[in-house]
Structures are given as structure tokens and as C-alpha cells.
Structure 1
Amino acid sequence: MSTHAKRERLLLADLLESAGPESPTLCEGWTARDLAVHVLVRERRADAAAGAFLKPLQSRLERVSGEFAAKPYEELVRLVRTGPPKASPFALKQVDEAANTVEFYVHAEDVRRAQPGWSPRELDPVFADVLWRRLESGARMFGRKSPVGLVLRRPNGQTAVAHKGAPVVTVTGEPSELLMFVWGRQSVADVALEGEENAVAKVRVAKLGF
């Protein structure tokens, strides 16, 4: 049975394949090749991936990333599509679903929305609810760098507090678009912002997300 994470993985691989290695993405400074490398290091080389957070491991992250980047792009896409080796924790369906559903959704949109003439996806209600639950549980982490109070609201009225503070900006949109917003992709998120003009301006350019 296919999971949400598996579906988003396959979509990401398809988008990487069709975009080509040198295509831009929404990840600042990253091409599609760089994004594929990030995915592979994260789920295949945990010893190196930690270098994104731990300074002593940065050189290892750079070395391992360089080794992946040197591979043919077709191989990188194939590895993204097939998933991690059995020894990886990400090979466990529960771990994959918990860790990769949002990760792959956002990165698929990083590729899609960086291309000219992109069009939004229509998500089924079940997946939208899954994304909302992830957003609710992670809202404080995603919004911790907000310079103002930040409330996320679905069109149906459900809300999640991403950052306590004043003044407050309320961001309204579908869960998928709210996720893009709080992951630092504010410029391409289809949302409506309410609040003081200065506060809205600040949150539009804030470094949200990780």
C-alpha cells in the first residue's frame, strides 16, 4: 500500500527528472542536482547529514555531498525514486511517513514553483488534513524565528499558533500553502495575511522554517 511519503517521493523524482540537473529551485543557491544530493545525503548518510547542524561535521557533509554530486544526474534521480537502503531508519514505513511526508511535499514544490509557468496542485482532502496535522504539531518550531506573533488559519477556521507575540499576523490558506509559508517560501505561498502593515511586511521576509 502506497503511503503519502511514498507518493510525494515519486512525484519529487518525476519533477527532478523533468526539470533537469541545472534547473533552479526555491532553495536559495540550489539547483535540482543540489536538491537531489540533499535528499540522498539526508536518508543515506546520517553521519554526514548531521553536518547541517553540527559544526564539527560540516567538512564531512561537504565531502559526502561532493561525492554524490559527482554521480550522473540520472543516477541521483533513480536513487531518490527507489528510496533508502534497508539499513537506513528511513526504510521503515512509519519513519518514512513521519519524517518525509512534509519534507518531500515541500521539496517537490521547491522544484515545481521555481519553473516558469508552474501551476498549483489540487490536493485531496485526506492529504490536506495530514498536512494540517503536521503543521499543527510543528507550528512552534517552524515559526520560532518570526519577528511578530504568528497565527496560521485554515479556511474552515482551524488555527495553530506558530509564534506568540504582539502585534499578531494571521496567515490564512490551505494547509499546503501554509506549510510553504512557514517553511520560508512566503513569496510563492497562496495565502492571505491580516495584521498591522508593518508587521505583515516583516513576516513576509522573515527567515521562517529551519
Structure 2
Amino acid sequence: MAPSTGHDERAELADTFLALGPQAETILPGWDAADLLDHLLVREGHPHLVAGSSLPGPIGRRAARARQALRDRPWEQQVDALRAGPGRLSPAGTADRLSGQGELLIHHEDLRRAQDGWEPRRLSVEATADAWRSLGLMAPLVVRVQADVTLISPLGGRRLRSRRGAGSLRIHGEPLELLLWASGRDRVARVRVHGDEGGMRALGESRRGL
């Protein structure tokens, strides 16, 4: 399936950042909206600063100052940078286009679902297809469960086989909810989990997430 063109998660995420402001909570421990936006902007346009800021000496200090300068920009300017998107050669931008904007979908919910009274969005057909495609690409990489896992949505099923699986699991939900579950957002993912004894035990010992 070719990447869809009718859904722009980036624009919707930028609108949410702008509406909530930099101090809004997220579901990510220790992160507010400013931390989440910083992560996205560095990921897309300045990935060298992540490694650079961890280095000792002058190189590390320069990278840390450069990253802080990005965070010190006015909030509206930072949001505009996200809205504009990465350059054509950005690996993150390429990954988002190919994956159906999976990371943007997940991080949008990290922000939305930390707010009082949140409810799942009613996604468009295009956005739902994007979430389903993202799940197909990401789940084999991020779901580490020693059991056979079948992800079941209104769009169909995806099976993740385990070489050493001692049981089976069936996870039911909308594509976006399954994407959140696969990325380890159990606290907010609205899914239904069924499995045999071995599968449920494996789930309790599993690791999921980006």
C-alpha cells in the first residue's frame, strides 16, 4: 500500500502544541510539552546534538548550548518549525512518510491523553489507514513478547510469531489503539487482551516500546 496523502498528523499535532502550551503534561514520565516538542525537533533536524551533548569536553558543551538555544526560542516559533517539517533529506522525515506518520501519531496521543477529560479521536479513513500501516511496520520491531501475538482491528489482523513462544495472545482494538499498545502505552491504550495461560505470563514478562 502506498503512503496516504489525505492525512496530515503533523499539522494536527502542531495545533495541539499551540493550544496547550509548553507546560502541558504528557503521559511520558518527567516530560512536559516542551520536552516532547524538543525531542521531535531534534529528531527531525538536529540528530547530531543528541550524541554531541553526551560527549565530554568542548564538543559536548557546544552541543548542549546549541540544543538549549533551540529550546529558548519562542513557543510559537518552535511549533512553526514542527509544522514546516524536516528537510527532504532528513532520515526522520523519510521514516514518517513511509511509516504512515507513526511516531507523530503516537506522540500526539502522548500529549492529548495526559489532559483531563480526553477521549479517543474519531480518525478519518486516511488516518486510520496510516495507523494500521504504521502498526504493521513497527510492531515486529517493538513488541518483544515470548508468545504468538495476533493484533486484531476492524481492518484485519496482523500476526507476530515468536520462535520460542509458549502461548498465544489476541489484542483487539482500533488501529491507533493497537499502535499505542505496541509502543508500551498500556495506561492509555484502549484495547482488549485475551490469551492462554502461557501467553498472559509472557505478556507480564514482556518489553514493548520504541
Partner of 1:131: 131
Distance 1:162 1:16 in 2: 38
Is 1:12 the equivalent of 2:13?
yes
Paired residue for 1:180? 180
Shift in Å, 1:22: 1.1
Query: What aligned pairs does 1:21-32 form with structure 2 within 5 A after superposition?
Result: 21-32=22-33
Amino acid at match of 1:135: L
For these two proteins, the number of residue pairs brought into alignment is 200
Find the partner of 1:58 among 38, 54, 58: 54
In structure 1, what is the equivalent of residue 77 of structure 2?
75
Secondary structure, aligned partner of 1:186: coil
Q: Secondary structure at the match of 2:37?
A: helix
SS of corresponding position for 2:208: coil
Q: Percent identity?
A: 33
**Letter paired with 1:23:** A
Residues 1:153 and 2:155 aligned together = no
Matched, 1:40 2:41: yes
Structure 1 range deviating more: 112-121 or 132-141: 132-141
| TM-score, scaled to structure 1 | 0.79
Residue 208 of structure 1 aligns with which residue?
Answer: 208
Larger Rg: 2
When the two structures are superposed, what TM-score results if normalisation uses the length of structure 2?
0.79
Cα 1:98/1:87, change in 2 over 3 Å: closer
Relative distance call for 1:105 and 1:147 in structure 2 (3 A) is: same
CA RMSD of aligned residues (A): 3.0
Which whole-Å deviations, capped at 9, do the CAs of 1:144-174 have from their partners, x for residues lacking one? Answer: 3x35443212245422216552222211111
Letter in 2 for 1:136: G
Match of 2:25, SS? Answer: coil
Residues 4/74 of structure 1: CA separation in 2 closer, same or farther (3 Å cut)? same
Change (3 A) 1:28 1:4: farther
- After the TM superposition, which residues 161-176 of structure 1 pair with which residues of structure 2 at under 5 Å, given as runs? 161=160, 163-164=162-163, 165-176=165-176
Please state how far the C-alpha of 1:91 moved relative to its aligned partner: 9.3
Structure 1: distance between partners of 2:95 and 2:140: 21
Closer, same or farther: CA 130–74 of 1 in aligned 2, 3 Å:
closer
Please give the residue correspondences for 1:86-101 in structure 2 after superposition, counting only pairs within 5 Å: 86=87, 88-89=89-90, 96-98=96-98, 101=101
Shift of 1:193: 0.2
Name the SS for the 2:139 alignment partner: helix
- Do the aligned partners of 1:151 and 1:161 also contact (CA within 8 Å) in 2? yes
Structure 2: any 5+ residue segments left out of the alignment?
none
Q: Does 1:119 align with 2:119?
A: yes
SS of the aligned residue for 1:29 comes to coil
Shift of the 191–64 alpha-carbon distance from structure 1 to 2, 3 Å rule, reads farther
**Aligned 8 A contact 1:167 1:196 in 2:** yes
Cα distance change, pair 197–42 in 1 and its aligned pair in 2 (3 A): same
Q: CA deviation at 1:68?
A: 2.1
Match of 1:102 in 2: 102
Which shifted more, 102-111 or 129-138?
Answer: 129-138
The SS at the match of 1:152 is strand
